[in-house]
Amino acid sequence: MANAKIKSSWQWAAYGLLGCATVVTLYPLLWVVKTAFSPSQTLDPSPNPLPNAFDFTHFSHLFTAAEQGAHFGDYFMNSLMVALATAFLGVILSCTAGYAFSRLRFGGQDKGLALFILTQVIPGVVMLIPLYLILEKLRLLDSLMGLVLCYAATSVPFCTWMLKGFFDSLPKEMEEAAWVDGANTWTVFTQIVLPVSRPAVAVAFLFSFMTAWNEFILAATLLNAPAKYTIPVALQKYIGAYQAAWGSFAAGALLASIPVMLLFFYLQKHLVSGLTSGSVKG
Amino acid sequence: MKAGRCLALMMGLALWASAASAAQDMVLWHSYRGAELKALDSVVKSFNNEQSTIKLETISIPYEAMASKLEVAIPRGHGPDLFIYAHEKAGAWSANELLSVVPQAQAQWAQQNMLPQAFKGVSVGAAVYGYPLAVKSAALFVNTALVKEPIKSVDDFGALKGKPGIYPLVYETDSFYFHAPWFLGLGGSPLDAQGKVALNTPAFAESLDLVRGFQERQWVPQEVTATLVNNLFNGGQAAAVMTGPWFLGEIKKEVAYEVRPLPKLANGQAATPFLTVEALWVAQTSANAQAAHQVARYLADASSAQIRLHQGRQVVPLASAWRGDGEREIPQDLLAFYEQAQVSVVMDNRPEMSLVWEPAQLALQNVLRDGVPAQEAMAKAAHRAAAIQKPLPPAQSPTVYLILLSLLVLAGMAYLIRGVVRINQQGRGKQSAVGWLWTLPAMIPTLLLVILPFVFSLGLAFYAHDKGSFTFVGLAHFKDILFAQTFDLLKPLSFYYALAVTILWTLSNVSLHVAIGVLLAVALNQKGLRLSGWFRVILILPWAVPNYITALIWKGMFHKQFGAINAVLNSLDLEDISWFSSFGTAFFANLCTNIWLGFPFMMVVALGALQSIPSNIYEAAQVDGATPSQQFWMITCPNLLKPMIPALMLGCIWTFNQFNIIYLVSGGAPDNSTDILITEAWRWAFARQGRYGYAAAYAALIFVLMLVLFQLQKKVNQWQTQK
């Protein structure tokens, strides 16, 4: 009896906490919604974050303001293509390395892994000009392919590191059984390890996707043809030297966050177990 | 010429794109939007219809990326033939050889037909580099419903003070651009003849006292942003606003207004705003520069000017355009801007101009936000000016460094070979080869597109950059930074100060992220909790929406007079807080924003970690009679730590390099005291006359620091596993 009472009071505390957190989370976000649906182009600084109008001009403007025949729909498709390609490429390129660092034993292994982790701390702003020169040599300027390669390369170290952590946490028994049966490394990896690693692969996929989805400066520097622009580049055009069209920007930002939200929603379960290495139950 | 060949290739591609057309293609880059864009399009259309040898194509580039894009693309022949940009870069870009000189005949035409200030703006020394298309300066927008009398002198604003809730004058008081009319009108000049920042003058002191008076008498509101100017004018709460022609499109229909010249100052001179000239420039690497100059002349000339004036609502500097074309009436509001432009000072186009803003704004903020006396604020500004225009380090001979470098490379190779040999001796050769083969797909792109560019940019740290040329200076930048040679060791701008702020920033963020994340995860993890799926999705949202816009919304919430947070404080009978005028509160504002952005990640991670704790431990504890809080401290906490270590590590790295929040929310205010290492590095590269080498040295040092942090983490990990 007493126990149940304690339990229910804890539940109320949990509801209270989550309710507060929800309010704090939504309050600034409602402003984005309000700005997107207001007919004006300015941010309203009043404390009331609820939309006072439901006006779709900014949304329709996104799809009608065509430049060389391209509008928000095209940018959306470009971004989607680039982000998906980056995510697939990032995962494919990094999964074997993650497995090697986790299960194979080879000389200089720790140094190789350290190299990967260290790339995470490189400040991105310094890389622009050298990347431009390299892509020029590869003849990949002004192409979405070049962009995908750059994004995938930046996400590979993180994915490798994360996958390695996950593989470490897998029990070795299954693999050992397969070894005894005479399977080679490749078979063990593809037939036994990968199928149970879905959570980690999902996280790697999501992170690569986000890298590509939100990046602005590299895309703006490398792409010249408006038909190839990605969403961040197209949205940034609303921020001018003297004034910003916040209404259109907010509308675009809202639309841009939908795929990410869907992805989060869809991968939620995997995210939880994929991000915490060593947390998978046997 | 290599550049020529590249351009030929590009032209070839462009030709391929436009298939049958035999005309020569020409590309123009701009960042116009709205009416200005429509006018440009129709000008280009009529140009393309009138002749068939050149086909002009326009490409819009986001303003924020335009300058850096031009700087990398033009020297390598991938740039446009023509581009539209403000005149302030003319000095730097002519020295960088980005711009093609306007031929004599066209230059003469421009001199005779353009507003003299506009012509001066596109000239560097005796050479002319651009074709002025539009001029922009501040003027006074008057709400005619509130203002019946003319505003002749600044004292007339006093007569407008009366009705509660209405400010006589609203403008961005913290911005030196909008402060300039007072400063220039009082006889000031931001740069002296040698190109040194000259803010330590009586004119600047007088102008600072003038605006302090405005604020003390409550003629102007505080901490005004462009958004606020807009809202107060459209809401009828501002009798007059000082802003530029870009504001014309933002005024609501129901507001009756007039554009008038700026009023006179106490010395009898009219307040004199800065003039910015938007001009058309021909890229030096254009394949057909001669033809490009013809195109530029067409776009700047009379028929185009009429379209840009009437359709694009631009203040064109071509004098003849204002005499009318006999059909359309000249718009009075634009004419007022043209008249104001005649009483204006064109902004200096020398690269040193970029060094004026930081010290000037520092002085303004000190006076207006913190109430510092003008002389003291100016002394601070002079100190800052001296720090950021310190002379470049002397050139050094690279021989010693080259020898050292080759020794280093040799040592590295020897180390590698020794490793390989040792592995082979141990008989692990084949096994190791297989291992490395497996890492190859990840290794190749990382080496090529991450490590290689980084090593390249590290090299920059040994060079000093000035106006497009790089000189080898050895370790001078590192010495300057590490021995704090030009700054006080414990004040903003010193590496150690920024490092201390960065560490404080990282630790406070990550610990709060974890605390809040764990707390929410525990709450979400309660058995039998309803709506937990909904809570989970909502609480993850800050992560999904682009942080560029949410950061600005947070900044708005911390506004002193109109922000939501002070409104809440007011309703609780607490006093307003000026959030960005002291280190503590500004840091707190940054912190709140970043916590809001970062807690979802830790929450998700903690949720995963929680679910990995076997439930039988809790059951056993319950049998032993442990209370829920005991269970939390004795079981949950210790078991959470280990699985969260990778996430903690990532969180540290991300927060350490979190540029957007600091830049967008506090912007370093007050006095750059909230800047962290990464924003400080950015300022050296992009806001202080392009000290790329210095910024690269910063980046190198940041990298070394992270390396240390990483080693530390490894030690902790080892210690953990031993335990």
| CA nearest neighbour of A275 among B512, B651, B608, B533 | B608
Q: What is the CATH number of domain B2-134+276-346?
A: 3.40.190.10
Does position B353 have pLDDT exceeding 90, yes or no?
Answer: yes
Do the chains contact at B231 and A268, CB–CB below 8 Å? no
Do the chains contact at A31 and B524, CB–CB below 8 Å? no
Q: Is B526 near chain A, with CB under 8 Å?
A: yes
The pLDDT assigned to B7 comes to 43
Q: Strand, coil or helix: what is B465?
A: strand
User: Are B244 and B138 in contact, with CB atoms under 8 Å apart?
Assistant: yes
Domains and CATH numbers, chain A: 1-55 (no CATH), 58-274 (1.10.3720.10)
Do the chains contact at B656 and A241, CB–CB below 8 Å? no
User: How many angstroms from the chain centroid is the CA of residue B607?
Assistant: 37
Nearest Cβ partner for A121 among B524, B556, B706: B706
Taking CA atoms, A90 is separated from A85, A168, B331, B475, in Å, by 8, 20, 56, 37
The position carrying tokens 């008249």 is B339
Taking CA atoms, B308 is separated from B32, B42, B721, in Å, by 12, 9, 71
DSSP secondary structure code for residue A139 in this structure: T
- CATH fold group of domain B499-677: MetI-like fold (1.10.3720)
User: Are B107 and B317 in contact, with CB atoms under 8 Å apart?
Assistant: no
Mean pLDDT by 10 residues, chain A (282 residues): 62 89 92 87 75 88 79 93 96 94 88 83 76 90 93 91 84 86 89 88 88 87 89 87 83 90 81 60 34
Nearest Cβ partner for A272 among B543, B556, B604: B604
Residue ranges of the alpha helices (H) in B525-563? 532-539, 541-544, 547-557
User: Are A15 and B530 in contact, with CB atoms under 8 Å apart?
Assistant: no
User: How many angstroms from the chain centroid is the CA of residue B394?
Assistant: 30
Q: What is the CATH number of domain B139-272+356-388?
A: 3.40.190.10
The pLDDT assigned to B688 comes to 81
Do the chains contact at A250 and B549, CB–CB below 8 Å? yes
This model of the complex carries an ipTM of 0.87
What is the pTM assigned to this prediction?
A: 0.87
Q: Strand, coil or helix: what is B45?
A: helix
Integer Cα distance of B82 and B469 in angstroms: 24
The pLDDT assigned to B510 comes to 95
Determine which of B12-21, B92-101, B313-322, B500-509 has the lowest per-residue pLDDT on average.
Answer: B12-21
DSSP string, B381-406: HHHHHHHHTPPPPPP--SHHHHHHHH
The pLDDT assigned to A1 comes to 44
Least Cα separation, residue A86 to chain B (angstroms) = 12
Within 8 A of B655 by CB-CB distance, chain A residues are none
- The tens digit of pLDDT for each residue in B61-97 reads 999 889 989 998 999 899 999 999 999 999 999 998 9
Nearest Cβ partner for A42 among B76, B227, B699: B227
Integer Cα distance of B358 and B386 in angstroms: 11
Integer Cα distance of B60 and B56 in angstroms: 13
Determine which of A166-180, A222-236, B177-191, B260-274 has the lowest per-residue pLDDT on average.
Answer: A166-180
**Minimum Cα–Cα distance from A7: chain B residue:** B628
Q: Angle at Cα A93 formed by Cα A92 and Cα A94, nearest 5°?
A: 95
Nearest Cβ partner for B554 among A28, A134, A264: A28
DSSP string, A189-257: IIIIIHHHTHHHHHHHHHHHHHHHHH--HHHHHH---GGG--HHHHHHTTB-SS-B-HHHHHHHHHHHH
- The tens digit of pLDDT for each residue in B461-520 reads 899 988 778 889 989 999 999 987 777 777 888 899 999 999 999 999 999 999 999 999
Within 8 A of A148 by CB-CB distance, chain B residues are none
Do the chains contact at B72 and A67, CB–CB below 8 Å? no
Dihedral, CA of residue B200, residue B204, residue B205 and residue B206, to nearest 10: 150
The pLDDT assigned to A4 comes to 57
Taking CA atoms, B12 is separated from A68, A274, B471, in Å, by 19, 49, 36
The pLDDT assigned to A275 comes to 67
The pLDDT assigned to B631 comes to 83
The position carrying tokens 């005619």 is B144
Least Cα separation, residue A248 to chain B (angstroms) = 12
Best to test chain B binding among A75, A111, A242, A269 (most B CBs inside 10 Å): A242
Q: For residue B114, what are the β-bridge partners?
A: B318
Q: Is B633 near chain A, with CB under 8 Å?
A: no
The pLDDT assigned to A61 comes to 87
Nearest Cβ partner for B539 among A22, A241, A254: A22
- The tens digit of pLDDT for each residue in B571-619 reads 888 888 889 888 999 999 999 999 999 999 888 888 878 877 777 888 8
- What is the location of CATH 3.40.190.10 in chain B? 2-134+276-346, 139-272+356-388
- What is the location of CATH 1.10.3720.10 in chain B? 499-677
Do the chains contact at A157 and B446, CB–CB below 8 Å? yes
Does position B551 have pLDDT exceeding 70, yes or no?
Answer: yes
Does position B622 have pLDDT exceeding 90, yes or no?
Answer: no
Segment B294-310 shows an average pLDDT of: 94
Within 8 A of A250 by CB-CB distance, chain B residues are 549
The pLDDT assigned to A281 comes to 37
pLDDT category of residue B721 using cuts at 50, 70 and 90: low
If one compares B681 and B275, the residue with the highest pLDDT of the two is: B275
Q: For residue B54, what are the β-bridge partners?
A: B24
**570-629 of B, contacting A, C-beta below 8 A:** 596, 604-605, 607-609, 611-612, 614, 627-628
Within 8 A of B72 by CB-CB distance, chain A residues are 128-129, 132, 221
Does position B4 have pLDDT exceeding 70, yes or no?
Answer: no
The pLDDT assigned to B48 comes to 95
Q: Is B712 near chain A, with CB under 8 Å?
A: no
- The tens digit of pLDDT for each residue in B449-465 reads 999 998 888 888 899 98
The CB density around residue B29, as the number of other CB atoms within 10 Å, is 23
Q: Strand, coil or helix: what is B712?
A: helix
**Minimum Cα–Cα distance from A259: chain B residue:** B544
Do the chains contact at B612 and A17, CB–CB below 8 Å? no
Do the chains contact at B678 and A123, CB–CB below 8 Å? yes
User: Are B124 and B246 in contact, with CB atoms under 8 Å apart?
Assistant: no
Determine which of A262-276, B107-121, B344-358 has the lowest per-residue pLDDT on average.
Answer: A262-276
Residues whose CB falls within 8 Å of the CB of residue A155, separated by 6 or more in sequence, listed in order: A86, A87, A90, A94, A204, A207, A208, A211, A212
**Minimum Cα–Cα distance from A225: chain B residue:** B59
* Mean of all residue pLDDT scores within chain B: 88
